[in-house]
Amino acid sequence: MKSSVMKFGQHAGQTVLMYTLTNQHGTRLSVLNFAGIWHEFSVLDNGARVNLLLSSPTIAGYTDNPYYINRVIGRVAGRIKDATYHYQGQNVVVPNNEGKNTLHGGGRGWSDTFFNVTMTSDSIMLTAKITSKQDGFPGDLTSGIQYTLTSDDQVIVQMTGTQSVVDGVFNPTVHAYFNLGTTHDILDHTLQLASNSHLALAEDKVPTGTLLPNSGPFDLAHDSTLRQALTKMAHTTSEQGFDDVFVMNKRVKNLIAILKDTASSRTIEIMSNRNGLVIFTANSMTSNMPNNHGNGHRWVAVALEPQTLPNSENIHEFGDVTLKVGETRQEVIVYQYR
């Protein structure tokens, strides 16, 4: 396996570095030290290099928009209603950064952090200590995110948190956007999910606690063409696409999603033991995001974000994301290229 480090740009007065691994098939993994941005997951297909991720040639393409493109998200992914939750009889207030709610850890956690980086023969390891003073969440979190590239074209992301000072919460993810083709949108992709239901969402996109059966464009249990689903949603939903939370079924080998570009047959399988998957089809993405499929525009890519169902801090039947003092938890997402 080959490795390299190079300068990618400047952000907030610091140097952004890109760390790259390449396996014997020519499959390439690149990660930035800022926000753990997953910049590249590229493969050789008939001699041509294809990046499976939506990717920007500059750091500004990642930072000068609100879409968390390919960033690691922690301490918690998703929305927390009213930026508040109750724990052991106390009202815990965390930063609000989307109206009155908290989105993706309040915006000052992993997604806004410069990490220390080390490399091994097959992995890129990012570490940082996220303090309560930094992100406004209870206690301090010693964090580690490890990206591993395997010889069979898997990327394994291991996200680890160790809590100190007081009890806190931990529900991380990778906000990775995929377009497996060479066209400017994902309409020729199919998406198959291990899911029979999705969450009802309030107008501010916070889960209400109600589960809805997957029907119509939400029925993705089989190979469902995104063209058909998104064309219908463009006329039937205010979002004009997916910005939704799917509830994962029990499944074999933790396989929760299969994304395929029908033109090339390039396929990504996603494995996770979490009970939720957020799907966002870049419905509102604007042209100020230069990328490898042109500028930002509707449906240019799909974000697939495995996590414990969001707002579980307030809806406990969604899952327990509490991380107690001295406790370490690791969450793993596996991406298999076929």
Q: Which of 40, 269, 305, 331 is catalytic?
A: 305
Q: Indicate if 222 belongs to the active site.
A: no
Contact 198, 245 (CB under 8 A): yes
At which residue do the structure tokens 């992100």 appear?
A: 135
Q: Indicate if 175 belongs to the active site.
A: yes
In a 10 Å sphere around its CB, with 0-12 CB exposed, 13-18 middle and 19+ buried, how is residue 178 labelled? buried
Tabulate helix, strand, coil % of the chain (nearest 5). 10, 50, 40
- Enter the tokens of residue 60: 């500004």
Distance of CA 199 to the CA centre of its chain: 18
| 8-state DSSP, 58 | S
Which of 213, 280, 214 shows the shortest CA–CA distance to 78?
A: 280
Query: ω into residue 75 within 30 of 0, thus cis?
Result: yes
The amino acid present at 236, given as its one-letter code, is: T
Q: Which of 39, 104, 175, 293 is catalytic?
A: 175
CA distance 329 to 251: 22
The CA angle 55-245-269, to the nearest 5 degrees, is: 55
Strand order in the sheet with 28-32: 2-11, 14-22, 28-32, 38-45, 48-51
Write out the catalytic residue numbers. 175, 305
